[in-house]
Amino acid sequence: MRHIFSASTPASTTADLLVLFVPVGGLAAALADLDAAEHYAGAITQLASDEEFTGKAGQSLPSPGLGRISARRVLAIGVGAGSDTEVANAAGTAGLEARKKGARVVALSFGALSNTALRGALEAFAEGNYRFDKYKAAAARKAAVEQVTLLGVAEDTRAVMLAEAGIAGQTLARDLVNEQPAECYPQSLAKTAESLAGDRITVTVLDEAAIKAKGMGGIYGVGQGSDRPPRFVHARYEPATPARAHVAIIGKGVTFDSGGLSLKPNDGMLTMRCDMAGAAAVIGTLRAIAAIQPNVRVDVIFGAVENMPSGNSYKLGDILKMYNGKTVEVHNTDAEGRLVLADCLTYASELKPDAIIDLATLTGAAVVALGDWYSALYTRSDDLNGQLQHAAADAHEGVWRMPLPDLYKDKLKAEWGDLKNVGGRAAGSITAALFLSEFVTVDKWAHIDIAGPAFMDSPLMHYVAGGTGTMVRTLTRWIERLGE
Ligand code: BES
Ligand code: MN
Ligand code: ZN
């Protein structure tokens, strides 16, 4: 998707779809140019009046070009009071509508926009335009947008560059999540990370034998049951100029979660190819920052495993020796993500970054608590919480801070090992976070349980069903700011 600034007027812009963003109270101004067009005069204002379109957020008004203006179709969309979020949501809807019509060239006519609003709107437009249709018959596919022509905004090539970087990273993450588990497995995920290696990015991959030799008993134990061996991946982005900060971002990379011997029922297993969405998001973030080149050293870490039942699976009652030396008694092989993340968190802690963030589709309990829009954010650092809330707000992604009380730690006490891998039904997302905290030795750490937002079972807002690439844009913004 390329973005082009144009000085032409809406009526004279050639496009498959012309989108007008209309605030409440700004209808006449937004439609003025079309209303003045010779053979279209007054038509759209008449239609707006007939359809009671006033520019309220959520309203949209399609209208045909009829060969009387240069665009084939027009879509007026309400942006309410015109806040950044309202504009982004409207842009998301426009992206979705453009895809439904198979539009290849789309012109977006905004009012005045800040550079952060423009960036967010272009990202949302691309989000709405996304489909994963590679397995569909050609006749059933609709074309994606190839060119976005920007009207009425100041030429801001940096905002466009940032948006294009975010879009590329998020789209990569979505494609990885949506890919069938027959094609997306630990080695392939490691290969995708390796494909990002370059001037400023180095990638190290440990195979199964190296994982075992290093003592990463969590990753090794979970990976044991699969014919597809696990991988541990560490990629590093090193800026060209001295780094102003150093962070580690970690993702859960369970390429398929059958539950293992604690096998999931059919419906719960159906979408468990999404269980590597954390790894996909950190890979996507790496891709975005490779383009943006922030002044921050970034360590990207994930354990990639397939959780499968077999004659070689880890078992209930097994006691795993983790990378930090602690022993974990296995009470449920479906609580596998925390075992994989634990070793990654220890490894990341050894690198002594200023902050660590892990992303994981960790618990069904997080979905029960917060649904598909909000990720559960756990951190003991008010400062890190503030930074992430700020970044998420700019990225138009939902995060909600949850408590991390030591009071519940007792639930993880084991009979024979140091810890057990489940803490009971109550507060399941919190006890999972507390489990992770046992493997972190840096002060600034945040765990984000993305089990809800990572994957939509049915469409929500401008997201189609499937992977969303959630948190790529939040993490990218967070990292950028640390480098400023
Ligand atoms: N990958 C799942 C969590 C999940 C559920 C992600 C729904 C996305 C949507 C995780 O590995 C899991 O199975 N968690 C268990 C933990 C339990 C056994 C303590 C869960 O949430 O039921
Ligand atoms: Mn599981
Ligand atoms: Zn899982």
List residues bridging with 5 in a β-sheet. 150
User: Do 336 and 396 share a structural domain?
Assistant: yes
User: Do 461 and 430 share a structural domain?
Assistant: yes
Structure tokens at 60: 């949209």
Locate the ligand 1 atom nearest the alpha carbon of residue 432 and give its number.
Answer: 19
User: Do 151 and 170 share a structural domain?
Assistant: no
Domain membership of residue 21 (yes or no) is yes
Domain membership of residue 96 (yes or no) is yes
**Do residues 284 and 172 make contact, with C-beta atoms less than 8 angstroms apart?**
yes
Could you tell me the residue range of the domain that residue 416 belongs to? 166-482
Q: 121, 155, 189 — which closes off a domain?
A: 155
Pick the residue whose CA is nearest to atom 13 on ligand 1. 334
Q: What pLDDT score was predicted for residue 256?
A: 99
Report how far ligand 1's centroid is from the alpha carbon of 342 (Å): 16
Report how far ligand 1's centroid is from the alpha carbon of 470 (Å): 18
What CATH number does residue 123 fall under? Answer: 3.40.220.10
- Count of domains in the chain? 2
User: Do 447 and 366 share a structural domain?
Assistant: yes
User: Do 220 and 85 share a structural domain?
Assistant: no
For β-strands 327-329 and 319-321, DSSP reports them as antiparallel
Domain membership of residue 253 (yes or no) is yes
Active site amino acids: 264, 338
Q: What pLDDT score was predicted for residue 102?
A: 97
User: Do 469 and 331 share a structural domain?
Assistant: yes
CA distance 391 to 399: 10
Locate the ligand 1 atom nearest the alpha carbon of residue 366 and give its number.
Answer: 21
Domain membership of residue 425 (yes or no) is yes
User: Do 468 and 352 share a structural domain?
Assistant: yes
Q: 135, 155, 175 — which closes off a domain?
A: 155
Ligand 1: lining residues by beta carbon, under 6 Å: 257, 275, 332, 334-337, 361-365, 367, 422, 428, 451
List, run by run, the mean pLDDT of 10-residue segments along the chain (484 residues).
96 98 96 94 96 98 96 98 97 98 97 94 98 97 98 95 98 98 98 97 98 98 98 98 98 99 98 99 98 98 98 98 98 98 99 99 98 98 98 98 98 98 97 98 98 98 98 98 98
User: Do 362 and 431 share a structural domain?
Assistant: yes
pTM for the predicted model, two decimal places: 0.98
Ligand 1: residue of 222, 258, 334, 434 to mutate (most ligand atoms within 8 A of CB) is: 334
Q: What pLDDT score was predicted for residue 111?
A: 84
User: Do 345 and 241 share a structural domain?
Assistant: yes
Domain membership of residue 37 (yes or no) is yes
User: Do 401 and 379 share a structural domain?
Assistant: yes
User: Do 204 and 67 share a structural domain?
Assistant: no
Domain membership of residue 160 (yes or no) is no
User: Do 206 and 142 share a structural domain?
Assistant: no
Domain membership of residue 218 (yes or no) is yes
What CATH number does residue 201 fall under? Answer: 3.40.630.10
Structure tokens at 318: 């097994």
Q: 116, 132, 155 — which closes off a domain?
A: 155
